[in-house]
Amino acid sequence: QVQLVESGGGSVQSGGSLRLSCAASKYVYCMGWFRQVPGKEREGGAIISRDDGSKYADSVKGRFTISQDISKNTLNLEMNNLKPEDTAMYYCAADRHPLANWNDASGYNYWGQGTQVTVSS
């Protein structure tokens, strides 16, 4: 079993920045961030894998940067120019194998507890 521990998040005004971090207790092949608002499906934000590098959803491309410290199995997400529509619960996700569709939440076996990001206008 892999444990994911998230940190970061919080409240910021529109245009501000926040940083999220996630630490995995064991080796994982890929790690990423999903986000969810009440009443909507969990959507992919960004992912990074050992062989395929990083991928971003169009909604965050150019504003969010994902990075990984492979030696420590940690993941970071730098979020810049935040918008009110970025308000959501953010979840760290990971898996020990390559995934057919990085944007499909059902493919990930391991999840963090979630951390709230709130962006006010």
Report pLDDT digits (tens) over 86-108.
999 999 999 999 998 999 999 99
What percent of the chain has pLDDT above 90?
88
Mean pLDDT of 24-38: 94
Q: Using one digit for the tens of pLDDT, what is the confidence trace for 50-72? A: 888 899 999 999 999 999 887 78
Return d(Cα 28, Cα 110) in angstroms, integer.
9
Q: What is the pLDDT of residue 51?
A: 85
What average pLDDT does this structure show over 109-119?
A: 97
Asked if the model's pLDDT at residue 113 lies above 80, the reply is: yes
> What is the pLDDT, as a whole number, of residue 73?
87
The pLDDT score that the predictor gives to residue 39 is: 95
pLDDT, position 71: 78
* Three-state SS at 15: coil
- Which candidate, 62, 65, 63, places its Cα nearest to that of 32? 65
Query: What percentage of the chain has pLDDT greater than the value 70?
Result: 100
Q: Which residue type is seen at 116? A: Q
pLDDT of residue 50: 85
Kind of pairing between the strands at 64-69 and 18-24 = unpaired
